Structure formats: structure tokens, C-alpha cells
Amino acid sequence: MKFNRRHFLWTGISGISALEALSAINPHWTKSLQGYMNRIESVPPEASASDEDFWAWVKASYTVSPNVINLNNGGVSPQPKIVQDAQQRFSAYANEAPSYYMWRILDQGREALRLKLAELAGCSADEIAINRNATEGLNSIIFGLRLNAGDEIVLSTYDYPNMMNAWKQREKRDGIVLKWIQLPQPLASDSQVVDAYINAITPKTKIVYITHMINWTGNIVPVRKIADAAHQKGCEVIVDGAHSFAHIQYNIPDTGADYFATSLHKWLSAPFGTGLMYIRKSHVKNIWALLSAPEPDGNDIRKFENLGTRSFPAEMAIGTAVDFHIAIGSKRKEERLRYLKNYWIQQISKLERIRLSTNTDAEHSCAIAHIGIDGWTGVQIEQSLFETYKLHTVAIQVEKLNGIRVTPHVYTSTRELDLLIKGITALSEKHAPTEKK
């Protein structure tokens, strides 16, 4: 399915345009949006990445702190004001008569939302389940798989801890075998990465589990190449897309995944605790529902949505986050995020004591990067940057990594990154203070 941003923005789904939907929430903001779209529509995404006037308008669409510079959007991102307003409106509506408005009105809106997410993801609506985050989606898949003792799973030591623990639980409970591979950080050539996965496959391997964008470092794994090779060997493929979805432009089927899940409160800037799970239509019947469902082994993707009462206002406001994302433009957003990463990395990488764990090539990274400084631990770097400059990053000490992860978003300005460059430069010129005993 080819995705046409202009068509989606102006004609939308079911005859309701994204522009109309946004205008219903904030007419003044939407009029401003229309003006900017008219100005930059013909500008290539790569060229608009450095248009600070446009991105200042995007920044003004958020309500982020003017005093704390948030460079840890990889954990969870803030929502633009228009998404916050949508959630508050749905919440007020639901509170008028919760059991009526939530179950008989808002709950029925999930099908329209499913269509909107499916169009964004480039797949069928029958392959999308709406849930709360990537952890929930991937756990549903991992615990729902029909695996037997001795079945092998190939996965990486740089996968997300929640998912590694889910696999370890199945190992302990069911006797499956986990085959761990080591990936260099930064990633080496695609062929080396693909070989690391494929060489671990044996006739007993059932699943190849891949993290699309490694959350610690931002390195993008050549997931389609791995998936194609794994399928040739008779394996199914699960993709953790928590950090790649709505960050870099692609359709979920492009990854070659049989199963996929992501968090929408990261790069889509949707309400906290929102996510989606994708299962190839032919594979839905192969996964048992994690929670109670009338037909837990049926072929309806909705069997994974039996969560009971949850935040319907947050769920329904996902649609507004999609509209906001499309208004900016998927490719335009990707290029801006990559531009921001390159902006600060290109300047600090010249410093002698900097250790970079991210492959900065365009096809191997976007917004996220991980750096270390000789003589400093990640915790010390994080604390110093916050105490001195109120720069909020996150310390990452995993495997051989010991540094900080820096994750800007579309509302981040180059002026704020100038402060990051100043702070890292200062730290690289001295050693960390000796800890008091």
C-alpha cells in the first residue's frame, strides 16, 4: 500500500479529513498549520529539516518545560497540546455517564481508529490490535506462541529487558532454548549483522526475534534482510518496533515481520500507555490470546483487546496524534530527527575522549545516539549535565556500553543542542570527580 501524505491530510478516512478533525479541537492552531503546509509542501523533506521557522512552530505546539531540556524522548514523549486537548475532551465526555459513553460510544470508535492506524502502518485493519504499549503486545505474542520443549529462539543481548525476561520465563516454564547473539555497537556492515542471526539458526529454531531500532544506542538493524533469510530457513520473525514506528518512515509489512508491536507514546506522541500490535493475517490463529477471550485461538485480531476497562479517552486521542504526525509528514519528521542527531554528533565527535556507540550513517540511525566519555561513567555524565545545564538525558550501562543516550524529538531546537554540545565539551576536558567514601 503506497502512503500518500497529502491525500491523507486533506481527504482522510471515511470522508473525514485529518484537517477537519484537528480543526474541531483547535481551529486557530489548524489555520496556522494550513499556512505552514502551503509554504513547505513543495520543499523536499531533506531541505525542510533545517527550516528553524517551521520547527519553531512545531515546538510551540507542545507544552514542554522551558526550564528542563528533555533529551530522553526515547523513554516516553510528551504529547502536543492538541492531543492533550483531545484526551481531556474525551475524558470529560466519558465522565458524564461512564458505563454508557465508554462502552456504548467511545468503545465503538475503536474500529475507525483501527482503520486509521492500519493506513499509517501500511497493512490491513484485520492485522492491527490496539493495546497499551510494546511490552504488552510483545508479551501477548511471546506467551501466545505454540512452542514446545527444545524449540529454539534466536535473540540478541541488546534486546529490551522486558522482552528478554518474557523469553526467559518461557525458557524456565516450557523448556525452550534461547540462542543469544552478540551485536557490535555501533553496528558493523549489514552482512555481518545478518550473518550473526542466521548463523545461530539450526533445524530446531522456530523464532528469530529482532529489535528494529536498538533502544540503548539507536542503531537500526537490517530487519528485512534478516527476516527474508530467516523465512528461507523456515523460521517465523518477531519484530520489536518500539523505537522505529513513527520515527523512521516505513510500512510494517516492509520489515518482513510475522509479528510486530510498538508503543505509540514514544515517536507518535500519542497519550501515555497506548500501543499497537500487528500480526500477519494468516498468523492470527497461531497465537493464543494472553487475556480472556471468547475464542482465544480464533482468527480475529480483536481477541487481543479483551483488557476490560481501560483508558478510553487515551485510546481515542491516538487518532489526533496520527493526524498531527501526518500533518508534519512522516518523511519530513524523519529527516528532522536525523538532522538533530547529526547536528550535535558532528561537533562532539571531534573531541578526543568521546566514544560513540551509534552508526551515524543515514540508513543505520535517526534521532537516537549513545556516547561515552573516557574517565566518566554514564551516571556521572547524566548527573553533571542535569545539575549544570538542566539537560535531561539517561545513563545507559548495558553490556559494554557505559555512557548516555541522547534522544531529541521534533520540538527540540538546535539552540538547546548547542547547550548539550557545550556541556559535553566541558566534561571531555576534565575527569569525573572522585566519589567520596
DSSP string, 108-171: GGHHHHHHHHHHHHTS-GGGEEEES-HHHHHHHHHHHS---TT-EEEEETTS-HHHHHHHHHHH
Task: Express each pLDDT in 71-84 by its tens digit.
Answer: 999 999 999 999 99
SS3 content of the chain, % helix, strand, coil (to 5): 45, 15, 40
- CA 155, 118, 338: angle at the middle one, nearest 5? 60
Domain ranges, residue 381: 332-428
CB neighbours (10 Å) of residue 375? 12
Cell of 82: 492538541
Q: Which CATH number goes with the domain that contains 422?
A: 3.90.1150.10
Which helix (H) or strand (E) is 209 found in, with range?
Answer: strand 205-211
Q: How many helices (H) and strands (E) does the chain have?
A: 17, 13
Q: Let me know whether 301 and 231 are in one domain.
A: yes
In a domain? residue 276: yes
Q: Let me know whether 237 and 369 are in one domain.
A: no
Threshold 0.75, pTM exceeds? yes
Task: Kindly list the distances between the CA atom of residue 98 and the CA atoms of 89, 101, 320, 434, in Å, as whole numbers in the listed order.
Answer: 14, 5, 22, 57
Burial letters for 125-149: b for 16+ Cβ neighbours within 10 Å, e otherwise?
bebbbbbbbbbbbbbbbbbbbebee
Q: Let me know whether 119 and 169 are in one domain.
A: yes
Kindly tell me if the per-residue pLDDT of 364 is higher than 70.
Answer: yes
Are 82 and 26 contacting, i.e. CB atoms less than 8 angstroms apart? yes
For the chain, the farthest-separated pair of C-alpha atoms sits apart, in whole angstroms, at 67
Q: Let me know whether 212 and 192 are in one domain.
A: yes
Work out the average pLDDT over 133-160. 98
Domain boundary among 291, 321, 351: 321
Work out the average pLDDT over 96-125. 91
Domain boundary among 297, 321, 345: 321
| Alpha-carbon span 148 to 297, nearest angstrom | 17
Q: pLDDT-based confidence at 221, cuts 50/70/90?
A: very high
In the chain, the number of structural domains is: 2
Work out the average pLDDT over 360-372. 97
Kindly tell me if the per-residue pLDDT of 14 is higher than 70.
Answer: no
Domain boundary among 298, 321, 344: 321
SS3 call for 69: strand
Q: Let me know whether 304 and 380 are in one domain.
A: no
SS3 call for 358: coil
Q: Which CATH number goes with the domain that contains 224?
A: 3.40.640.10
Task: Express each pLDDT in 170-183 by its tens digit.
Answer: 999 999 999 999 99
* Distant-in-sequence contacts of 187-191, Cβ < 8 A, 24+ apart: 187/219, 187/220, 187/221, 187/359, 187/364, 190/222, 190/225
pLDDT averaged over the chain?
91
Q: Let me know whether 340 and 269 are in one domain.
A: no
